[in-house]
Amino acid sequence: MTDKTANYRPQLRIPATYMRGGTSKGVFFNCQDLPSAAQVAGQARDDLLLRVIGSPDPYGKQTDGMGGATSSTSKTVILSKSDENDHDVNYLFGQVAIDKAFIDWSGNCGNLSAAVGAFAINAGLVDKSRIPDNGTAVVRIWQENISKTIIAHIPIHNGGVQETGDFELDGVTFPAAEIKVEFIDPSDAENRMFPTGNIVDQLDVPGFGQFKATMINAGIATVFLNAQDLGYQGTELQEAINSNPKALEMFETIRAFAALKMGLIEHIDQAATRQHTPKIAFVSKAQDYIASSGKSIDKAQIDLNVRALSMGKLHHAMMGTAAVAIAAAAAIPGTLVNLAAGGGERQSVTFGHPSGLLKVGAKASLKDGQWSVDKAVMSRSARILMEGWVRIPATTL
Check residue 378 and give its pLDDT. 96
Q: How far apart are CA 83 and CA 206, in angstroms?
A: 46
**Is 31 tagged catalytic?**
no
**Which letter does DSSP use for residue 35 in this model?**
-
Is residue 7 pLDDT above 80, yes or no?
no
Q: What number of other Cβ atoms are within 10 A of residue 386's Cβ? A: 11
Check residue 397 and give its pLDDT. 77
Contact 381, 165 (CB under 8 A): yes
Q: How far apart are CA 177 and CA 32, in angstroms?
A: 29
Q: What's the residue count for the chain? A: 397
Contact 341, 352 (CB under 8 A): no
Here the contacts of 250-254 (C-beta below 8 Å, separation 24 or greater) are 250/208, 251/280, 251/309, 251/312, 252/312, 253/205, 253/206, 253/207, 253/208, 254/203, 254/205, 254/208, 254/211, 254/223, 254/225, 254/280
Here the contacts of 134-137 (C-beta below 8 Å, separation 24 or greater) are 134/158, 134/159, 137/161
Check residue 5 and give its pLDDT. 59
Phi/psi of residue 228, each to 5°?
-60, -35
Q: How confident is the model over 320-342, as pLDDT tens digits?
A: 999 999 999 999 999 999 999 99
Partners of 285 in the beta sheet?
A: 304
- What is the b/e burial string over 132-145, where b = at least 16 CB atoms within 10 angstroms of the residue's CB? eeeeebbbbbbbbb
pLDDT band at 4 (very low <50, low <70, confident <90, very high): low
Check residue 190 and give its pLDDT. 62
- The residue-averaged pLDDT of 133-153 equals 97
Check residue 8 and give its pLDDT. 78
Reply yes or no: is the peptide bond before residue 56 cis, omega within 30 of 0.
yes
Question: Among residues of the chain, what percentage have pLDDT more than 90?
Answer: 90
Angle at 71 between CA 69 and CA 73, to 5 degrees: 65
| End-to-end Cα distance, the chain | 29
- The residue-averaged pLDDT of 57-74 equals 97
- Which stretches does DSSP call E strand in 286-347? 289-290, 296-297, 304-310, 313-314
Q: How far apart are CA 118 and CA 73, in angstroms?
A: 19
**Chain mean position to CA 34:** 23
Q: How confident is the model over 285-318, as pLDDT tens digits?
A: 999 999 999 999 999 999 999 999 999 999 999 9
Q: How far apart are CA 123 and CA 351, in angstroms?
A: 35
Please state at what angle helix 110-122 crosses helix 320-330, rounded to 10 degrees.
120
Q: How confident is the model over 68-100, as pLDDT tens digits?
A: 999 999 999 999 999 999 999 999 999 999 999
Is pTM beyond 0.95? Reply is no
Check residue 395 and give its pLDDT. 81
* Catalytic residue (choose from 66, 193, 215, 319): 319
Amino acid at residue number 274: R
If DSSP codes are grouped into helix, strand and coil, which group holds residue 194?
coil
Check residue 337 and give its pLDDT. 98
Question: Among residues of the chain, what percentage have pLDDT more than 70?
Answer: 97
- For the ranges 197-201, 358-362, 366-370, 390-394, the lowest mean pLDDT is seen at 366-370
- For the ranges 109-113, 245-249, 369-373, 390-394, the lowest mean pLDDT is seen at 369-373
Q: How confident is the model over 160-192, as pLDDT tens digits?
A: 999 999 999 999 999 999 999 999 998 865 658
Contact 75, 109 (CB under 8 A): yes
Check residue 176 and give its pLDDT. 98
Contact 79, 64 (CB under 8 A): no
Is residue 6 pLDDT above 70, yes or no?
no
Q: How confident is the model over 236-291, as pLDDT tens digits?
A: 999 999 999 999 999 999 999 999 999 999 999 999 888 889 999 999 999 999 99
* Catalytic residue (choose from 19, 66, 109, 262): 109
Is residue 145 pLDDT above 90, yes or no?
yes
Per DSSP bridges, beta strands 103-104 and 296-297 are unpaired
Q: How confident is the model over 197-250, as pLDDT tens digits?
A: 999 999 999 999 999 999 999 999 999 999 999 999 999 999 999 999 999 999
Mean pLDDT, rounded, of the chain: 95
Reply yes or no: is the peptide bond before residue 15 cis, omega within 30 of 0.
no
Closest residue by Cα to residue 48 from 20, 78, 72 = 78
C-alpha distances out from residue 79 to 27, 84, 123, 180, 269, Å: 11, 13, 9, 20, 32
Q: How far apart are CA 33 and CA 72, in angstroms?
A: 24
